[in-house]
Amino acid sequence: MNTSTEEMWDIELTPHGSLFDLKLKDIWHYRDLLILLVRRDFVSFYKQTILGPLWFFIQPLFTTIIYTFIFGNLAAIKTDGLPQPLFYLAGITAWNYFADCLTKTSSVFTVNAGLFGKVYFPRLIVPLSIVVSNLIRFAVQMAMFFLMMGIYMAKGANVHPNIYLLLFPFLLLLMAMLGLGLGMIISAMTTKYRDLSFLITFGIQLMMYLTTVIYPLSVVKEKYPHYQWVVEYNPMTPIIEVFRYGFLGEGTFTMLSLGITSVITVAILLIGIVIFNRVERTFIDTV
């Protein structure tokens, strides 16, 4: 007598799949691993430091002081009438989250080669864990930003939060998607071209100077109109300008520029997913 039974599997591994497959079902199935990796990233980074999580405060605070002295006082760059420390801290807080996501994601394949080669799990969990773990540092720095903003508002400074601050969750999502997408593209490229890993730090620093972190877009339009397109086409520029406008009341942007940034960000993320899914199948042979 012939009997047929249908076997049920939690996960089915196949040799081929869509390059756009996010494996969301697998990611949800491995959500405990995602939480574990987030905890690992946080603990391992500060485990052997003296000041530990205090670096969350120290780094942006000292950077703000240096920027205020160099760009605000020595270079006398205008800050749209905003208090200089508050202006710089707003840009630094937003930029740091994007830069951290990009930098750490860009080394996913090379850093985790041993882990990827031993056991199966949806590889996208690793870059996602980086984006999530960076939220902890971002939240701490935002708390410091709110504290400084409250102090200046109590002193009667020209700070006027408005309804655009409701776009903050959307801006945060854009920064995460942009950092994740660019990071996955670079990570895939570094599996074959290791030299790129040495250019990341320099590239991010250069990109920061092409973003309105240390100067407002209004200054670029006023003094360097022929070069403003370089800054405006940087997808992080509208994000930071909207961020400043929503919380501080000063910023130069249009909803069109924010819309274009959103389209560019989604495109970069999709390209990053395609490249990541393609490379993760064979990268272990080249790393």
DSSP H/E element including 34: helix 31-46
The answer to the question of residue 22 being in a domain is no
pLDDT score for 195: 66
The answer to the question of residue 64 being in a domain is yes
**For 74, which DSSP code?**
I
- Evaluate if residue 113 carries a pLDDT over 70: no
The answer to the question of residue 7 being in a domain is no
Confidence of residue 202 (pLDDT cuts 50, 70, 90): confident
The answer to the question of residue 196 being in a domain is yes
Calculate Rg over the CA atoms of the chain: 21
pLDDT score for 5: 47
Please compute, for residue 246, the number of CA atoms within 13 A of its CA located in the half-sphere on the CB side: 21
Of 167, 257, 260, the closest CA to residue 221 belongs to 257
Of 216, 172, 179, 171, the closest CA to residue 200 belongs to 179
Write out the residue range of the structural domain in which residue 235 sits.
51-285
Number of domains in the chain: 1
The answer to the question of residue 115 being in a domain is yes
- Evaluate if residue 11 carries a pLDDT over 60: no
Confidence of residue 265 (pLDDT cuts 50, 70, 90): very high
- Evaluate if residue 105 carries a pLDDT over 90: no
Residue type present at position 144: M
Q: What is the mean pLDDT of the chain?
A: 82
Please compute, for residue 182, the number of CA atoms within 13 A of its CA located in the half-sphere on the CB side: 21
How far is C-alpha 78 from the geometric centre of its chain's CA atoms?
26
The answer to the question of residue 35 being in a domain is no
